[in-house]
Amino acid sequence: MAKQNVNAKLMTGNEACAEAAIVAGMRFFGGYPITPSSEIAEVLAHRLPEVGGIFVQMEDELASMATIIGASLAGVKSMTATSGPGFSLMQENIGYASMTEVPCVIVNVQRGGPSTGLPTLPAQADVMQARWGTHGDHSIIVVAPSTVRETYDWTIKAFNLTEQYRIPVIVLLDEVIAHVNEKMVIPEPETITIIDRKRSTESPDTYQPYKQNDSDIPLFADFGTGYRYNVTGLSHDETGFPTNDPQKINALYSRLSRKLERYQDQIIEYKTEYLKDAEICIVAFGSSARSAYRAVRLARQQGIKVGMFQLFVIWPFPYKILGRLASQIKAFIVPEMNLGQIAHEVSCAIKSDVIKVNRVDGSLITPNEILERIKNVSV
Amino acid sequence: MFPYEKYLRFSKFPHIWCTGCGCGIILKSILRAIERIKLSKNDIALVSGIGCSSRTPGYVDFNTLHTTHGRAIAFATGLKLAKPALKVLVISGDGDATAIGGNHFIHAARRNLDITVIIYNNHIYGMTGGQASPTTPIGKKGSTAPYGSIEPSFDISGLAIAAGASFVARATCYHVVQLDKYLEKGFMKKGFSLIEVLAPCPTYYSRPNRLGTSVDMLRWYKENSIPVEKARTLSEYEKKDKIIIGILEDRERPEFCEEYKKMAERIRKS
């Protein structure tokens, strides 16, 4: 009999997300039921009281987003999970978290939209809402795993990113990844990196919550630990108090956007396959990437020089990396379950048109649909 | 003289409130009550939403959190659950708490979360320029009710009682001695406590409604308020248009943080 891996489990993406969050140190979840994300809340309602954490079912998504920011200010890693309509309701307070630099993770198990849309079917239509859903120029990080194991890894990374950069992180799942059962080997704890926000060791008397430093990431102080400071969604100065001084306002907004620009090379992650000699490149993320990998392998069997570029981090978008590929690649194909949201960004990156493969009918894009496009291009 | 300077961030003055505004009267009462219960400034978190009253956190030396419109109680819920040792106070207005934030208000009361919410009820949206609020009385004018409001107004305290709050009291900016007492009791009460305070807004409520100065408003509160004990002996007709002040509710109900803790201990034992 083959040796059994005791760490191997059959898990859904939603379960993997919830378990990974606990491993990452998340001890506060505030959420509101919504398909297809509800299992994340259900698992955490069960698990968090066991591990000394707090689970609270809030009265709506506005409250869910607000309550996780409140908990994070007390120094507790916090998360919420939702889907399209709930994600829309969270947008104002996502902006608050971005403005006040309070670490938090928002999981959005996408469904088709707008409005109630397709609650029980997959879609990838929130790419732009995840980036620009809240008003004003702001920093945000968006990650998009494509398998159950990737969901586990990227949930932990989402917490690391939000803790490290003090920027809210959105995990974009879709109904397929959320509900598919896959074999999942849980990594050994010692192989997992966990990052916590940098806290101030300065005296509370001189502490300034948004003091400029070399890293552009201010040092955090937990509420209730003697650091009595002010947090506001208004434009504020380094002391945390509202300001109308144009210089100070400019300094704040510049730093907030610089944080993302400056660290984007560390934040951006992607995976490539067969790209070395490729003439055609598929750019995909989430469950569409699964079909794309299959299509690439089938095409390679037929001798077509096609490669794969899977986005793990959607925002910040890897414009420069894709731009460099443009000289080598004849055609970019972008399969996605929306009407061309990532295709638009790829197009900007390569400064040329891309071939779009889109579905918005709640069905997955099949490997064959992508393969047909590959064949059309290669002749 | 009470040592207000112990609690105020004087460097942030002058404040933004108009002459005759009720915000300062209530703030001073809050500080006196905090002094009396001998809470450390480090252990107090003051959370607010958006509006005139919600600018209070900027002026006081606690852990202060100025959030989004209507959501103060939801932010406070996370803060309190994550750090139950904190004394969490929420300052809100009639619009912030009962219009845009009405849902959070009733659900925090239902959960009986151990926070104190102080609502400055001036019957108007002051910060945005005098629009009608859910507590603008029928017939009274606002910039969005130029012919007088035709909507019935909310009874804020009644709403909190119906939703399950442990402690509910109403005062006015005239009745500061009582207000000090109600705030102190509210802070000490385990569970959700609400203190509703009627506050003059001479700029945007009194002026369009020809109610005179702030002093006239205080006089009006004095002459038209009746203690809840007396109100219980009066007919509906006699109570019409009167302000009923006093401790309207004071009861023992299971508190949310404690119930959560009990549940978690039960789970870990089994």
CB contact under 8 Å between A224 and B43, yes or no, is: yes
Q: Does domain B17-269 have CATH number 3.30.465.10?
A: no
Q: Which one, of A191, A155, A190, A187, lies nearest residue A171 by Cα?
A: A155
Quick check: is A259 in a domain?
no
Q: Domain end: A141, A165, A191, which one? A: A191
For the cut 60, the answer to whether the pLDDT of residue A1 exceeds it is: no
Name residue B243's beta-bridge partners. B225
Strand partners, B170: B196, B246
Give the SS3 label for residue A121: coil
On the question of pLDDT at A336 being above 90, the answer is yes
What is the DSSP secondary-structure string of A238-274?
TTSSB---HHHHHHHHHHHHHHHHHTHHHH--EEEES
Asked, for residue A15, whether it belongs to a domain, the answer is yes
Residue A316 belongs to some domain of the structure: yes
Q: What's the pLDDT score for residue A193?
A: 97
Q: Are residues A45 and A173 in the same domain?
A: yes
SS (H, E, C) A357-368: EECCCCCCCCHH
pLDDT of residue A5: 73
Domain contains A239: no
CB B124 within 8 A of CB B142: yes
**Number of structural domains chain A divides into:** 2
Residues 6+ apart with CB under 8 A from B84: B114, B257, B261
Tokens of A32: 């509101």
- Local structure of residue A125 (DSSP, 8 states): T
Q: Give the alpha-carbon dihedral of A144, A147, A148, A154, to 10 degrees.
A: -30
pLDDT in tens, A288-323: 999 999 999 999 999 999 999 999 999 999 999 999
Q: Are A121 and A93 in contact (CB under 8 A)?
A: no
Q: Domain of A304: which CATH number? A: 3.40.50.920
| B12-34 pLDDT per residue, tens | 999 999 999 999 999 999 999 99
Give the integer Cα–Cα distance in Å for A342 and A356.
Answer: 9
pLDDT value of position A2: 61
- Which of A191, A224, A239 corresponds to the end of one domain? A191
Strand pairing report for A313-315 and A141-143: antiparallel
Q: In terms of residues, how long is chain A?
A: 379
φ/ψ of B250, rounded to 5, equals -155, 100
Query: Confidence class of residue B11 from pLDDT cuts 50, 70 and 90?
Result: very high
Average pLDDT, chain A: 97
Cα gap B218→B171, rounded to integer Å: 12
Q: Has residue A312 been placed in a domain? A: yes
Q: Alpha-carbon distance A243 to A234, whole Å? A: 8
Please tell me the distance from the alpha carbon of residue B10 to that of residue A292, in angstroms, as a whole number: 62
**What angle (nearest 5°) sits at the alpha carbon of residue A296, between those of residues A291 and A299?**
125
Name chain A contacts of B103, Cβ cutoff 8 Å: 59-60, 62-63
Say if the Cβ atoms of A225 and B42 lie within 8 Å: yes
Chain B residues touching A101 at Cβ < 8 A? none
Position B270 scores a pLDDT of 81
Q: Which positions in chain A touch B264 (Cβ < 8 Å)?
A: 49-50, 52
Q: Of A161, A191, A221, which marks where a domain is finished?
A: A191
Residue B269 makes CB contacts below 8 A (sequence gap 6+) with none
A182 and A66 co-located in one domain = yes
3 state SS of A234 = coil
CB of A359 within 8 A of CB of A117? no
Q: Do A180 and A283 sit in the same domain of this protein?
A: no
Residue at A302 is within a domain: yes
Contact A242 B58 (CB under 8 A): yes
CA dist B111 and B256 (Å) reads 6
Tens of pLDDT, residue by residue over B118-160, are 999 999 999 999 999 999 999 999 999 999 999 999 999 999 9
Mutate to test the interface with B, among A68, A231, A244 (most CBs of B within 10 A): A231
Domain carrying residue A313 = 271-378
Name the band, by pLDDT with cuts 50, 70 and 90, for residue B5: very high
* Chain B residues closer than 8 Å to A70 by CB: 47, 65, 74-80, 82
Site of tokens 């859910």: B134
- The reply to whether A351 falls in a domain is yes
d(CA A371, CA A374): 5
How far apart are alpha carbons A190 and A202 in whole angstroms? 31
Q: Are A38 and A126 within one domain? A: yes
Chain B neighbors of A228, CB-CB under 8 A: 41-42, 61-64
Do the domain assignments include residue A98?
A: yes
Tell whether A187 and A279 lie within a shared domain.
no
Which A residues, 176 through 205, put their C-beta within 8 Å of a C-beta on chain B? none
Both structure tokens of B245: 């002040």
Q: Minimal Cα–Cα distance from A263 to chain B, Å?
A: 28
Tell me how long chain B is: 270
C-beta atoms of A58 and B107 within 8 A = yes
Structure tokens at B240: 């019409």
What are the strands, taking DSSP E only, across chain B?
44-48, 63-66, 87-93, 116-121, 124-125, 131-132, 167-172, 193-198, 225-227, 243-250
Q: What is the mean pLDDT of residues B244-268?
A: 97
